[in-house]
Amino acid sequence: MKFNTTTVDQINWLASSRMQSFTEQAVANMKSGEVFNKNDVPVGLVVNDVKATADDPMPVAVMYEGWVIADNLPTELTDADKTSLQESGIKFRGEEGAKSEDKPSESAKSSTKGAK
């Protein structure tokens, strides 16, 4: 019996499986993790690779909310892109200045102490 080997070359940039994505129309080839712009404003990150042209637009899943590992994205984000993405609901794991609601509260931490 002959076996075929397939190699995956996408690096996982999602920090969590919980995310919110919506369908948009891609008018150019896009890689997973690229910034998706709507009216020249970054609104989300492309979930899967897509091959499209202006003459043949294709549906693409765009992540609008969730946790991301910025170092694993295919291109480095500019500060303006990062700020715009954070405003839409994307959070970057491991960065300083996370909102207090993104971290466990002291009462939540203490309630797990002594639990069996």
Query: What CATH number is attached to the domain comprising 46?
Result: 2.40.300
Per-residue pLDDT of 68-115, as tens digits, reads 999 999 999 999 999 999 999 999 998 755 454 544 445 444 444 555
Classify burial at 89, counting beta carbons within 10 Å of its beta carbon; exposed 0-12, middle 13-18, buried 19 or more: middle
8-state DSSP, 68: E
CA 51, chain centre distance (Å): 19
SS3 80: helix
The answer as to whether 55 is a domain residue is: yes
Per-residue pLDDT of 17-30, as tens digits, reads 899 999 999 999 99
The answer as to whether 34 is a domain residue is: yes
Mean pLDDT over 45-74 rounds to: 94
Give the residue numbers spanning the domain of 30. Answer: 16-95
pLDDT of residue 111: 46
Strand partners, 14: 68
The answer as to whether 11 is a domain residue is: no
The answer as to whether 65 is a domain residue is: yes
SS3 73: coil
The answer as to whether 39 is a domain residue is: yes
Number of domains in the chain: 1
Q: For the whole prediction, is pTM greater than 0.75? A: no
The answer as to whether 75 is a domain residue is: yes
